[in-house]
Amino acid sequence: METISLTSDNNYYNTEKSNNIRNMIRCEKIIARMFSLLYDLSYNLYRILVICEYFAYYILVYEKIMILMGRKYFFDFVFIEITREVQYIYNTS
């Protein structure tokens, strides 16, 4: 008849329990990282939408100016405005 020691069963139980705890911690870290990446993605998408809204507004404004001024002066005006925006960004950074 084979005897089973209580210490070996207890060690197995503790090892199994600690493995389960390690796996749970790994899963929590993975889930936290996924939520962090999702937040970063949503923030970057928000920034892209703001930039698109900014350019859409300027396109609408330029289109109205083009109708008022005519095509000949429109491209000169756009070039001056783009130069002004670039200078502003360069000076503020």
Output 63 or 71, whichever has higher pLDDT: 63
Cβ pair 9, 17 in contact under 8 A: no
Domain, as residue range, for 71: 6-92
* Distance separating alpha carbons of residues 51 and 2, to the nearest angstrom: 75
DSSP H or E stretch at residue 82:
helix 71-92
pLDDT score at 8: 52
Measured CA angle at 84 (ends 80, 85), to 5 deg: 120
With respect to residue 16, please indicate whether it lies within any of the assigned structural domains.
yes
Check pLDDT > 70 for residue 83: yes
Check pLDDT > 60 for residue 88: yes
With respect to residue 47, please indicate whether it lies within any of the assigned structural domains.
yes
With respect to residue 41, please indicate whether it lies within any of the assigned structural domains.
yes
With respect to residue 71, please indicate whether it lies within any of the assigned structural domains.
yes
Check pLDDT > 80 for residue 37: yes
From the number of C-beta atoms within 10 Å of its C-beta (0-12, 13-18, 19+), residue 47 rates as: exposed
With respect to residue 66, please indicate whether it lies within any of the assigned structural domains.
yes
With respect to residue 54, please indicate whether it lies within any of the assigned structural domains.
yes
Domain count, the chain: 1
Give the closest residue to 82 by CA, choosing from 55, 50, 47: 55
pLDDT score at 3: 52
With respect to residue 1, please indicate whether it lies within any of the assigned structural domains.
no
Output 57 or 86, whichever has higher pLDDT: 57
pLDDT score at 93: 55
Question: Which residues lie below 8 Å from residue 81, measured CB to CB, with a gap of 6+?
Answer: 58, 62
* pLDDT over 70, % of the chain: 67
Segment among 3-7, 37-41, 87-91 with least mean pLDDT = 3-7
Q: What is the pTM of this model?
A: 0.42
